[in-house]
């Protein structure tokens, strides 16, 4: 397997020095949230950010962000119980609201994901505890669980949502995929379970070597490319 020292050296070569790499990493990333910090976030904020990520997919982020206050108002600040029991008539009414992005599938995902958040909160104490208790050594397992239990959280939406809430994860940006391919870890963007397991195993090794969180290693890989 590729060593952590080798990717650190490659990034330093690409960016001119190790100090430059460290400045870039520090400027772009926060430390991942602790289990307690994730648990302290109210469930409605997780539903809001989950929905924001889903509506951002395929659209200009600034456009979606500008409309988000209207979503907060329309969906009662993403109250979990109320949105989990949202009626079809209520969704149809939201689809007439010109202040919102009127995408029916994404609109329905709010109801489905409110139910998902509610179930996890009942099982684990809060949605944040569900996220916080999941080991990062199996972060692809969390991606898969969110995809199966949630709505429109497949592809990279689950991983980007985790990044938004500061749960430690790697993300398959174009540069990260290019770096993985250059090191013969994968030959294409990982989607199959076998390839995802290979990547998880490699990230786990790098984490053991470095003591770094997955998010920082992920960005370090990207810095080896551009």
**Spans of all domains in the chain:** 4-32+170-223, 36-164
Q: Domain 36-164 classified CATH 1.10.340.30?
A: yes
pTM of structure: 0.95
How far apart are alpha carbons 101 and 170 in whole angstroms? 29
The DSSP-derived string for 83-123 is HHT--HHHHHHHTT-TTS---HHHHHHHHHHHHHHHHHHHH
How far apart are alpha carbons 44 and 48 in whole angstroms? 6
How far apart are alpha carbons 32 and 43 in whole angstroms? 18
Give long-range contacts, CB 8 A cutoff, 24+ apart: 145-151.
Answer: 146/116, 149/116, 149/119, 149/120, 150/50, 150/109, 150/112, 150/113, 150/116, 151/54, 151/108, 151/109, 151/112, 151/113, 151/116
Question: How long is the chain?
Answer: 226
Per-residue pLDDT of the chain (226 residues; tens, 9 = 90+): 799 999 999 999 999 999 999 999 999 888 899 999 999 999 999 999 999 999 999 999 999 999 999 999 999 999 999 999 999 999 999 999 999 999 999 999 999 999 999 999 999 999 999 999 999 999 999 999 999 999 999 999 999 999 999 999 999 999 999 999 999 999 999 999 999 999 999 999 999 999 999 999 999 999 999 7
Instruction: Provide the token pair at 149.
Output: 């239990």
């Amino acid at each position: 397997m590729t060593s952590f020292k080798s990717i650190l050296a490659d990034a330093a070569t690409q960016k001119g020095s190790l100090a430059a790499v460290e400045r870039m990493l520090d400027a772009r990333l926060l430390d991942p949230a602790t289990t307690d910090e994730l648990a302290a976030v109210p469930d409605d904020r997780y539903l809001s950010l989950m929905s924001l990520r889903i509506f951002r997919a395929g659209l200009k982020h600034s456009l979606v962000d500008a409309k988000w206050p209207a979503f907060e108002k329309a969906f009662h600040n993403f109250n979990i119980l109320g949105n989990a029991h949202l009626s079809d008539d209520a969704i149809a009414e939201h689809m007439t609201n010109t202040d919102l992005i009127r995408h029916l599938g994404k609109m329905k995902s709010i109801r489905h994901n409110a139910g998902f958040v509610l179930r996890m909160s009942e099982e684990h104490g809060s949605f944040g505890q569900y996220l916080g208790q999941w080991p990062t050594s199996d972060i692809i397992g969390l991606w898969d669980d969110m995809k199966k239990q949630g709505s429109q959280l497949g592809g990279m939406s689950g991983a980007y949502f985790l990044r938004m809430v500061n749960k430690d994860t790697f993300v398959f940006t174009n540069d990260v995929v290019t770096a993985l391919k250059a090191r013969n870890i994968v030959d294409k963007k990982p989607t199959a379970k076998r390839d995802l397991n290979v990547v998880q195993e490699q990230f786990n090794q790098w984490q053991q070597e470095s003591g770094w969180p997955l998010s920082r290693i992920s960005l370090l890989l990207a810095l080896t490319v551009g």
